[in-house]
């Protein structure tokens, strides 16, 4: 199925170019000169939190964000990451491509995270590059990629192309005691709340950008706070919040997982009570750190309103991947698994033409963010693996609303491990990583898998592992939303075969061959 057949048949092509160049224009028709650049381009803000789940209540503490973005626009109830790990997911967001096409395998330099090969290849064709060509004023503040700023990745001096203003964290998430690259120069921070708390600093730099920007030029801002990633350091005023809160105890909490892949079969069941205490503590601290992100959203929206830009600005709120604290069989905390709690993410968007209080059920992926943002910017869409979901949101184009409801998508993960045994856990042997007390390791080389997830029609997940059991897991999410039972031995062999074929196609897809409109789509066979 060609890209053009899916989103730009003649009628759509016409509407899409109208949408593309004039999402703002239709609304400002009476106040602006037709086709004046300043009127036709909307501003775009992308807020990307870190490790924030949606399945286990990750959005619950963010009451202001839900009000100011979700209730003011669209909340996507089926938003997913194509991979549940930071650097590969962030690379997907920046490029609009599945991990097998941007070739970022894991969070290490050797896995291409911010590596010189990434810089020469995918980074040179990433979202900000296109926006900058369209004369957007581009601003970044926050965590970029896990290996950003390391020696091998060019240190502070490397400012990725397309960004006019750059305030990026060196390395992985920190709240205090970190270094930034500020437009290519090192800036060191200590641990004074008023000067250094990283979430607040990102907000302050953003407000400063909005004060100083050139009026009339459209802007793109990407804000990427460290919350709710470890080490979960809350702002002082929030450190006592949620003292009664505990991780949810329903679903797969503390359930055995003997019908699942090797890694899930290792931990003792039930978990030690010390692990339960540990995960409850993590759950509370994660929520506390998110309160500062909630404040950030509130202050940013207020600033946009005060400067009369709010009605011409799209604001996206999402996270790089989900996370589990508890609800995961016998695994205390982490991501990297194929289950819903790790692959589902929050996604809310407000902006011109998006009616308030919409719940959008169509499945959307992190690889769709770049094409959607480019669609808003009026760019001629470059071919990416993802597809624009603008038409799912804008109320003045109801004919296009279900245009890109894909029938299936790919989730892929390359397991991380270490070649030597974890000293705390020699019995598991080499090849594992992310080990917690009691020998619960949350990743391993052979936790390498790819899944087809369908939602339209059948609500199924089919996953194959690259381990030496060639392990397969299949879930019927309609009857078993907690993924307690692997039904691989019960399911119709023809369906298994069809899903295996779809998986093979998706694992080698690129650009338009990854696209799917849910009608004649890739996974039509299994969605009858
Ligand atoms: C790193 O990226 C380059 C270019 O994108 C690719 O050719 C190479 O295979 C990648 N390396 C790994 C380990 O995936
Ligand atoms: C920051 O670093 C200083 C000096 O190494 C240390 O004393 C302090 O405890 C650190 N603060 C935090 C919050 O980690
Ligand atoms: C952010 O700005 C506010 C208001 O000016 C100030 O009180 C706060 O200390 C600043 N925080 C940081 C980390 O810069
Ligand atoms: C936004 O609102 C202001 C008044 O607050 C108005 O002048 C402007 O035309 C509006 N812009 C859009 C895109 O609706
Ligand atoms: C599009 O969605 C509407 C409901 O929002 C539904 O009535 C209609 O049948 C859908 N059209 C297609 C082609 O799926
Ligand atoms: C990351 O990926 C690279 C390339 O596949 C691999 O060599 C390396 O061992 C991986 N790192 C970890 C920690 O698994
Ligand atoms: C997975 O890797 C571990 C550690 O290397 C090994 O002990 C185990 O046998 C492997 N399991 C499978 C199913 O490949
Ligand atoms: C399974 O894979 C692990 C490494 O991932 C290896 O150590 C082990 O010998 C393999 N077992 C079999 C039966 O192939
Ligand atoms: C999934 O469960 C639903 C509800 O029980 C059932 O109707 C459907 O046939 C099941 N699908 C498969 C493939 O087993």
User: 344 C-alpha vs ligand 7 centroid, how far in Å?
Assistant: 27
d(Cα 506, Cα 500) in Å, to the nearest integer? 10
Long-range pairs, 466-470, Cβ under 8 A, ≥24: 467/261, 467/262, 469/261, 469/262
Residue nearest to atom 1 of ligand 5 (CA): 402
Q: What is the chain's pLDDT, residue by residue, as a tens digit (528 residues)? A: 222 222 222 222 223 333 333 333 343 322 333 333 444 589 999 999 999 999 999 999 999 999 999 999 999 999 999 999 999 999 999 999 999 999 999 999 999 999 999 999 999 999 999 999 999 999 999 999 999 999 999 999 999 999 999 999 999 999 999 999 999 999 999 999 999 999 999 999 999 999 999 888 999 999 999 999 999 999 999 999 999 999 999 899 999 899 999 999 988 888 889 999 999 999 999 999 999 999 999 999 999 999 999 999 999 999 999 999 875 677 889 999 999 999 999 999 999 999 999 999 889 999 999 999 999 998 888 899 999 999 888 865 544 444 457 889 999 999 999 999 888 788 888 999 998 877 789 999 999 999 999 987 789 999 999 999 999 999 999 999 999 999 999 999 999 999 999 999 999 999 999 988 765 556 755 443
**Among candidates 425, 388, 306, 301, which has minimal Cα distance to 351?**
301
And the tokens for 126? 């990433």
Strand order in the sheet with 43-49: 185-189, 178-182, 165-169, 137-143, 219-224, 43-49, 313-319, 347-350, 74-76, 358-360
Is the distance from the beta carbon of residue 319 to the nearest atom of ligand 9 less than 6 Å? no
Q: Which atom of ligand 2 is nearest to the CA of 175?
A: 13
Give the model's pLDDT for residue 521: 56
Nearest-10 Cα torsion for 356, 357, 359, 365? 50
Give the model's pLDDT for residue 278: 92
How long, in residues, is the chain? 528
- In 3-state terms, the chain is what percent helix, strand and coil (to 5)? 35, 20, 45
Q: Which atom of ligand 2 is nearest to the CA of 190?
A: 1
Residue nearest to atom 4 of ligand 4 (CA): 308
Residue nearest to atom 3 of ligand 7 (CA): 431
Give the model's pLDDT for residue 362: 87
Residue nearest to atom 10 of ligand 5 (CA): 402
pLDDT digits (tens, 9 = 90+) for 35-63: 334 445 899 999 999 999 999 999 999 99
Is the distance from the beta carbon of residue 446 to the nearest atom of ligand 8 less than 6 Å? yes
Is the distance from the beta carbon of residue 431 to the nearest atom of ligand 7 less than 6 Å? yes
**Could you please report the per-residue DSSP string of 175-241?**
SSSEEEEETTEEEEE-S-HHHH-HHHHHHHHHHHHHHHSPTTS-EEEEEE--TTSTT----GGGTTT
Is the distance from the beta carbon of residue 528 to the nearest atom of ligand 4 less than 6 Å? no
And the tokens for 310? 């709010």
Give the model's pLDDT for residue 392: 84
Residue nearest to atom 4 of ligand 9 (CA): 479
And the tokens for 305? 């309103």
**Could you please report the per-residue DSSP string of 371-393?**
HHHHHHHTPPPPP-SS---HHHH
Q: Which atom of ligand 6 is nearest to the CA of 107?
A: 1
**Domain ranges for the chain:** 42-399
And the tokens for 421? 């045994």
Give the model's pLDDT for residue 34: 30
Q: Are 385 and 511 in contact (CB under 8 A)?
A: yes
Cis status, amide bond into 231, omega within 30 of 0: yes
* Helices 273-306 and 198-212, packing angle to 10 deg: 10
Give the model's pLDDT for residue 440: 86
d(Cα 231, Cα 229) in Å, to the nearest integer? 6
Topology of the domain covering 42-399: Alkaline Phosphatase, subunit A (3.40.720)
User: 198 C-alpha vs ligand 2 centroid, how far in Å?
Assistant: 14
And the tokens for 352? 């011109």
Tell me the three state secondary structure of residue 144.
coil
**Residues in the ligand 2 pocket, defined by CB under 6 Å:** 176-177, 191
Is the distance from the beta carbon of residue 444 to the nearest atom of ligand 7 less than 6 Å? yes
**Among candidates 375, 367, 390, which has minimal Cα distance to 90?**
367
Give the model's pLDDT for residue 58: 98
What value, to the nearest 5°, has the Cα angle with vertex 503 and ends 497 and 504?
A: 90
d(Cα 472, Cα 488) in Å, to the nearest integer? 7
Tally of CB atoms within 10 A around 487:
15
Is the distance from the beta carbon of residue 476 to the nearest atom of ligand 9 less than 6 Å? yes
Residue nearest to atom 10 of ligand 3 (CA): 194
Q: Can you give the pTM of this predicted structure?
A: 0.91
Quick one: CA dihedral 377, 388, 511, 3, positive or negative? negative
Q: Are 105 and 99 in contact (CB under 8 A)?
A: yes
Give the model's pLDDT for residue 33: 33
And the tokens for 183? 């437009």
d(Cα 394, Cα 354) in Å, to the nearest integer? 5
């Amino acid at each position: 199925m060609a890209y053009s057949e899916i989103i730009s048949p003649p009628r759509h092509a016409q509407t899409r170019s109208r949408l593309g160049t004039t999402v703002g224009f239709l609304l400002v028709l009476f106040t602006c000169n037709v086709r004046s650049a300043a009127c036709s381009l909307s501003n775009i803000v992308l807020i990307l939190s870190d490790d924030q789940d949606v399945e286990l209540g990750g959005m619950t503490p963010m009451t202001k964000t839900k009000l100011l973005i979700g209730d003011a626009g669209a909340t996507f109830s089926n938003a997913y990451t194509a991979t549940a790990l930071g650097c590969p997911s962030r690379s997907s967001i920046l490029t609009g491509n599945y991990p097998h096409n941007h070739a970022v395998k894991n969070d290490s330099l050797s896995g291409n995270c911010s590596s010189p090969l990434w810089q020469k290849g995918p980074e040179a064709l990433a979202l900000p590059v296109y926006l900058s060509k369209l004369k957007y004023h581009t601003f970044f503040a926050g965590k970029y990629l896990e290996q950003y700023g390391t020696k091998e990745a060019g240190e502070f001096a490397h400012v990725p192309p397309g960004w006019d203003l750059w305030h990026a964290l060196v390395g992985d998430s920190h709240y205090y005691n970190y270094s930034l690259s500020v437009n290519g120069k090192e800036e060191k921070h200590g641990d004074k709340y008023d000067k250094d708390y990283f979430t607040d600093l990102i907000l302050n730099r953003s407000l400063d950008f909005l004060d100083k920007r050139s009026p009339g030029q459209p802007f793109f801002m990407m804000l990427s706070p460290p919350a709710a990633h470890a080490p979960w350091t809350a702002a002082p005023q929030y450190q006592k919040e949620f003292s009664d809160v505990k991780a949810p105890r329903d679903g797969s909490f503390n359930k055995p997982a003997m019908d699942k892949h090797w890694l899930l079969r290792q931990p003792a069941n039930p978990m030690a009570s010390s692990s339960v205490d540990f995960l409850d503590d993590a759950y509370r601290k994660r929520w506390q750190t998110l309160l500062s992100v909630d404040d950030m959203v509130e202050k940013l929206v207020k600033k946009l309103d005060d400067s009369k830009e709010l009605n011409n600005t799209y604001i996206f709120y999402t996270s790089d991947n989900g996370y589990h604290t508890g609800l995961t069989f016998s695994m205390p905390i982490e991501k990297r698994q194929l289950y819903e709690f790790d692959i589902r993410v929050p996604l809310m968007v407000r902006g011109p033409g998006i009616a308030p209080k919409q719940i959008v059920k169509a499945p959307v992926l992190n690889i769709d963010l770049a094409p959607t943002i480019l669609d808003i910017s009026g760019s001629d869409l470059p071919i990416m693996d993802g597809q624009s979901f603008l038409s799912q949101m804008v109320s003045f184009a109801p004919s296009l609303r279900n245009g890109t409801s894909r029938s299936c998508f790919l989730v892929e993960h390359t397991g991380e491990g270490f070649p030597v045994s974890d000293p705390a856990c020699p019995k598991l042997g080499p090849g594992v990583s992310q080990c917690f007390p009691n020998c619960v390791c949350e990743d391993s080389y052979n936790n390498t898998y790819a899944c087809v997830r369908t939602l339209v029609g059948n609500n199924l997940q089919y996953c194959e592992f690259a381990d030496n059991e060639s392990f397969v897991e299949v879930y019927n999410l309609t009857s078993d939303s907690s993924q307690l039972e692997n039904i691989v031995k019960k399911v119709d062999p023809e369906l298994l075969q069809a899903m295996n074929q779809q998986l093979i196609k998706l694992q080698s897809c690129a650009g338009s061959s990854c696209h799917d409109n849910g009608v004649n789509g890739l996974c039509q066979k299994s969605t009858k």
